[in-house]
Every structure is written in C-alpha cells, then in structure tokens.
Amino acid sequence: MPKDFLQPMTCFYWATQGRCTKTADECFYAHWDTGVIASAPVSMARDGQSVTVAGRHADAQIADFIARENSLKTRELALNSRQVLLNQHDAALNARCANMKTAMQEVYDTIETFDNESAEALRALHRRKKQIEDFNVATATEGKPSEYGAMLLFAVNGSIGAVTKMAQRVDEVGNYMKEHIGINAVHEASVAAFVQANNHV
Ligand SMILES: [Zn+2]
C-alpha cells in the first residue's frame, strides 16, 4: 500500500480536503503528513460506474517497484545459472584431474619397478665384471693374458654404463613427477638400492 512504501504517500483527500471517506486504517494512503501527497485518483468506467483505480504517483511508484523487482529476479536467475555452470565445470575438472593423477601414479609405479630391476641388473653385471677381472688377473699371472677376457670386460663395462644411464634418465623423470605433479611415492629404498648397486665394485 502506498502508505507502506519506503517513501509513504499521503492521502490526496486527507491532504487537500482535510477528510477522507475511508478511515485511516481502511485508506491505502497515509492520513498523516509524509511529505509526498498522492495525485488525484484516476477514475475509469467499469460496468457503467466510475471506479477509482489509483493515483498517478502510486502507479508510477508501483510500476517502478515491479520493474526493479523483475530486474533483481532476472539478475538472480542469471547468477544461479552461472553458478550451476561453474559447479559443472568444477566437477568435470576434478574428474579429469583424478584420472590424470591415476595415470601418473601408474607411470610412476612403472618407473619404480624399473628402478628396482635396473638395480638388480647392475648388481648382476658387477658380479660378472668381478669374475672377468679375477679371470684376467689369473691369466696374466700365468703369463697367458686372454684377449677374450679384455673383450668381455669391455662389454660388461659398456652394459653397466648403458643401464646406469637409462636408470638415471628414468630417475630424473620420477623426480620431476615427484616435484611438479605431486606424485610423492618415491621409495628412498629403491633409489638407495640403485646407488648402492652402482657403487658396488
Ligand atoms: Zn484517505
């Protein structure tokens, strides 16, 4: 009601004629001085009778109020649908990240397996190297140095170098994943085993 507006409106009759056919309770307009007087009521014919519709000021205020209400509702709807889209986007992103992390973990597990296997291979190669060196020392002592012994030692050293290089590269990948992708299951034990096998002479 116009008397309840944020800027209440005073009854046209009460203000201009000092009286109103309605009581202060019944009248839509204020029967006190609000500083704003409603305009003369607009009348329109309905069923052969003159019916009071509303003051022009009230019309304008109501129209303005409805317009603001509608614009707020429209903005709220737009915000809600944007929030729904954002939530969907978040969910899709989280799912993709989870898949990625699983895939990365699998790669990382493979690297660890390779670390362990290459450490085992290095230990075996170092055992062979020791045998060949002992063989070479023995044949040299006997005055019959073996050219096969020298070739075998060259081959074993080459194998050790190749496996070491491969293991180092794979280790670099593993460390990169640990540092930049947050895969943090580096087993210090497997790294230690690799280092130990490589230094074992
Ligand atoms: Zn009145």
C-alpha 13 to ligand 1 mean position (Å): 6
C-alpha 45 – ligand 1 centre gap (Å): 21
Q: What is the mean pLDDT of each run of 10 residues along the chain (201 residues)?
A: 86 91 91 88 62 63 80 88 88 82 82 87 94 92 88 94 91 80 56 62 44
For 6, phi then psi, to 5°, come to: -55, -40
- Say which DSSP state 72 is in: H
Q: What are the start-end ranges of the H helices in the chain?
A: 12-17, 56-141, 147-176, 188-199
Beta strands per DSSP E along the chain: 41-46, 49-55
For residue 60, report the distance from its CA to the centre of ligand 1, in Å: 19
Distance 196 CA to ligand 1 centre (A): 101
CATH number of 101-199: 1.20.58
How many angstroms separate the alpha carbon of residue 68 from the centre of ligand 1?
27
Distance 65 CA to ligand 1 centre (A): 22
Q: Is 63 helix (H, G, I), strand (E, B) or coil?
A: helix
CA of 69 to the centre of ligand 1 (A): 27
Domain edges within the chain: 2-55, 101-199
CA distance 8 to 10: 7
Which residues face 51 on adjacent strands?
44
